[in-house]
């Protein structure tokens, strides 16, 4: 029992730490969107969304996914205690990272014209694509050094580097938005990438990990392993980014840049707001399960603990957003963006489902099951995109929100079936009891918001906090934590 409590506490501590970091990053991004909305308007937000899609897609493939696979490799070496192997793995990783980042950025620069003309449908964007190649280079390097810090599980350095990079990158970008308006957006991406790389490099140096020279054969062998897994992991980000890019392009052609601005606003709030928790999950959960990838019993235990704590933390946040949604949008953007509520109110069901499906998918990565993983990602993203387009044509912005939740439901069901079939890893009855309770609570929150029952909304908000805190107190044993703190103070 004591071991269970310690395990829950360790997971909860990590969630809280990186949730705090993500809150800071999200607030910075939302403040950036607020400034762009004020200086450039809905057109600027739409332009931001378009360039963000290009940057996200390019960054996801620039290092062939080794910034993600490297976390697994370095984590395993770090846990083994073999400092020589760890030093060689990091040396090989850094060299491969530099080579891939440089050559892909150069490739993007040389293909700027055909990308702008045939993909973005506007050859005037060629100069912007060329400038984005610089942002891709520095962002890729930053992600690589953060992967090393994450792999050795130095949570404090990872938190500091991410937070400082986001804040100072934003502060350096503000004058660009004011003086250059729309053109300042692309330069802000470059500055943010440079600043993020600087702090990632500084905190990597603070680790003081001794690296060792490696032979060419060792470099090739280690690089093959990193690339093989990295390409599989890259497929998630690549196909997700491609799907988002195609959807945004479709919305521009059929709804216009202002309609894309509304969708971008809603999507940023939903994904960014709850990305607080999901980032906290991936930061420590993936290195943790990578170290026990060969033990299905332990994986099942970690899966249920992680998912349960995640939905308990998310539930009150859902109710907060339902209660204060109009005020949040007006505060972060302007009242011109209130129509984006149509997407948000339907999409919140999908957040609960995503909280359950994401930990399942990461087990496939930890086990390095590349074949199943690639097939599933390709299938999911194809279905997601078609579902978005169909429901958009039927119900507009509301349909996009419905599609998000349906997509996450499909993702959850299919992954649960796959994990049960391959590894006999499933969620427990205890988890499903809490999951169904929270899902029903979310439905009541949606209904109260839709019918504008303010009193019921506030009651549900209070109830969600009460339920989550009560269950967390039981799982974490707050009483023993309080006693330990008091005893420590007495000493």
- The model's pLDDT over 141-178, given as tens digits with 9 standing for 90+, comes to 998 999 888 888 787 888 888 889 888 888 888 888 77
Buried b (16+ CB within 10 A) or exposed e, 426-451: bbeeebeebbeebbebbebbbebbee
Run of H or E including 214:
none
Residue 491: inside a domain: no
Q: Which of 224-238, 298-312, 336-350, 424-438 has the lowest mean pLDDT?
A: 224-238
Name the band, by pLDDT with cuts 50, 70 and 90, for residue 180. confident
Q: How confident is the model at residue 411 (pLDDT cuts 50, 70, 90)?
A: very high
For 246-270, what is the mean pLDDT?
84
CA atoms within 13 Å, Cβ hemisphere of 66? 27
Residue bearing tokens 């964007």: 125
Residue from 370, 81, 96 nearest 218 by CA: 96
For the chain, counts of helices (H) and of strands (E): 17, 0
* Structural domain of 359: 2-486
Q: Please, which pLDDT band fits residue 488 given cuts at 50, 70 and 90?
A: very low
pLDDT in tens, 295-312: 899 899 989 998 998 899
For residue 70, is it within any domain?
A: yes
Residue 213, SS3 per DSSP: coil
Answer yes or no: is 461 within a domain. Answer: yes
**Helix (H/G/I), strand (E/B), else coil: 376:** helix
Quote the CA–CA distance of 41 and 314 in Å, as a whole number: 31
Helix axes 341-366, 397-423, angle to 10 degrees: 20
Q: Is 281 a residue whose pLDDT tops 80?
A: no
Nearest alpha carbon to residue 179 among 187, 190, 169: 187
Q: What is the pLDDT of residue 119?
A: 67
Overall size of the chain counted in residues: 491
Q: How many distinct structural domains can be found in the chain? A: 1
Q: pLDDT tens digits, residue range 11-63?
A: 777 777 777 787 777 778 778 777 777 776 666 677 777 777 777 778 777 77
pLDDT at 217 over 50: yes
Q: Is residue 322 part of a domain?
A: yes
Give tens-digit pLDDT for 71-84.
888 877 777 777 88
pLDDT at residue 484, as a whole number: 47
- What is the reported pLDDT for 444? 93
d(CA 373, CA 317): 30
- Give the confidence band of 222 by pLDDT, cuts at 50, 70, 90: confident
Rounded Cα distance, 429 and 433, in Å: 6
Cβ contacts of 101 within 8 Å, gap of 6 or more: 62, 63, 136, 137, 140, 141, 144
In this model, does residue 491 exceed pLDDT 60? no
**pLDDT of the residue at 189:** 85
Question: What pLDDT sits at residue 195?
Answer: 92
Report the 10 Å Cβ neighbour count for 317: 18
- Positive or negative, the CA dihedral 319, 22, 73, 63 is positive
Radius of gyration of the chain (CA): 22
Q: How far is Cα 55 from Cα 458, in angstroms, rounded to an integer?
A: 40
How far apart CA 357 and CA 415 sit, in angstroms, is: 7
In degrees and rounded to multiples of 5, residue 295 shows phi and psi of -115, 100
pLDDT tops 90 at residue 462? yes
Q: To 5 degrees, how large is the angle CA 32–CA 61–CA 149?
A: 70
């Amino acid at each position: 029992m004591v071991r269970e409590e310690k395990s829950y506490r360790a997971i909860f501590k990590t969630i809280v730490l990186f949730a705090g970091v993500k809150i800071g990053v999200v607030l910075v991004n939302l403040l950036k969107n607020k400034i762009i909305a004020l200086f450039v308007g809905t057109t600027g937000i739409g332009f931001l969304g378009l360039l963000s899609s290009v940057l996200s897609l390019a960054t996801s493939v620039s290092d062939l996914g080794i910034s993600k696979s490297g976390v697994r490799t370095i984590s395993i070496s770090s846990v083994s205690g073999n400092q020589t192997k760890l030093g060689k793995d990091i040396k090989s990783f850094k060299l491969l990272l530099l080579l891939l980042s440089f050559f892909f950025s150069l490739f993007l620069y040389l293909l700027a014209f055909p990308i702008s003309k045939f993909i973005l449908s506007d050859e005037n964007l060629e100069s912007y694509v060329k400038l984005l190649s610089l942002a891709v280079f520095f962002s890729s390097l930053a992600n690589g050094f953060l992967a090393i810090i994450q792999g050795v599980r130095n949570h404090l350095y990872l938190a500091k580097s991410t937070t400082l990079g986001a804040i100072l990158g934003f502060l350096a970008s503000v004058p660009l938005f004011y003086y250059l308006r729309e053109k300042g957006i692309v330069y802000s991406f470059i500055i943010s990438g440079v600043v993020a790389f600087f702090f990632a490099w500084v905190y990597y140096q603070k680790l003081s990990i001794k690296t060792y020279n490696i032979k060419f054969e060792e470099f090739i062998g280690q690089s093959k392993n990193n690339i093989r897994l990295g390409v599989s992991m890259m497929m998630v980000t690549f196909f997700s980014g491609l799907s988002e890019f195609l959807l945004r392009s479709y919305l521009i052609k059929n709804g216009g840049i202002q309609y894309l601005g509304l969708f971008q606003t809603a999507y940023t709030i939903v994904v960014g707001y709850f990305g607080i928790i999901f980032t906290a999950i991936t930061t420590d959960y993936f290195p943790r399960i990578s170290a026990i990838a060969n033990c299905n019993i332990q994986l099942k235990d970690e899966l249920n603990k992680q998912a349960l704590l995640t939905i308990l933390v998310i539930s009150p946040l859902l109710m907060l957003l339902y209660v204060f949604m109009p005020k949040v949008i007006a505060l972060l953007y302007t009242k011109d963006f209130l129509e984006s509520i149509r997407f948000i109110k339907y999409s919140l069901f999908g957040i609960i489902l995503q909280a359950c499906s994401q930990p399942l998918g990461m087990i496939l990565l930890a086990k390095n099951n590349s074949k199943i993983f690639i097939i599933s990602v390709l299938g999911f993203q194809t279905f997601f995109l078609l579902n978005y387009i169909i429901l958009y044509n039927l119900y507009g912005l509301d349909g996009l929100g419905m599609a998000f939740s349906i997509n996450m439901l499909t993702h959850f069901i299919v992954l649960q079936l796959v994990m049960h079939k391959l590894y006999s890893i499933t969620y427990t009855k205890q988890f499903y009891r809490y999951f169904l309770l929270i899902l029903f609570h979310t439905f009541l929150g949606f209904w109260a918001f839709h019918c504008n029952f303010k009193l019921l909304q506030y009651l549900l908000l209070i109830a969600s906090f009460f339920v989550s805190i009560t269950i967390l107190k039981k799982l974490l044993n707050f009483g023993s934590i309080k006693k330990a703190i008091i005893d420590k103070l007495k000493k």
